Amino acid sequence: MSAEAIQAFKNLEAEDFRVLQVIEAAMLTHEFVPKDIIVKYSKFSEEEITYRLEKLHKFRLIRQTKQPYLGYALNYAGYDCLAINTFIKAGILEAFGKPLGVGKEADVYDALTPEGERIAIKFHRLGRISFRQTRKKRGWTEEDVNWL
């Protein structure tokens, strides 16, 4: 996770998270999710989706391709924002601190629970260099692997 993802998280609204969730779900069958699929499954208007996608792209939470069609895919920062949102909704996480360690396979951050207890949050980064190699090296990736 990067400071970029934390900063972006502060500026996201519920609608932005809905768009990120739709992109994540559709990435099971698409390398880049077509805009019309995002419109269909998010149940937002095309104008609203255009606004949300531009915002998410500006914060570098998604990647965009225009060939052979207009499509979008999550990058690590987008996944990080979804994970942070899940932790907050579950009542596990209240605030983030500084990085405790950043390595080849994981990033570890200091954090606080709603009760004020200090915890460490670990974001796995297997395949940061080559995600395709992760499948070969780690057996647990055979289930629910996104295209990232």
Kindly report the pTM of this predicted structure: 0.79
pLDDT in tens, 37-47: 999 999 999 99
CA dist 141 and 97 (Å) reads: 29
Query: Which helix or strand (DSSP H or E) is residue 131 part of?
Result: helix 131-137
pLDDT in tens, 23-67: 999 999 999 999 999 999 999 999 999 999 999 999 999 999 998
Q: Are strands 71-74 and 95-102 parallel, antiparallel or unpaired?
A: unpaired
Domains by residue range for the chain, with CATH: 3-76 (1.10.10.10), 91-134 (no CATH)
Tokens of 69: 């069609």
Q: What's the confidence (pLDDT) of residue 64?
A: 95
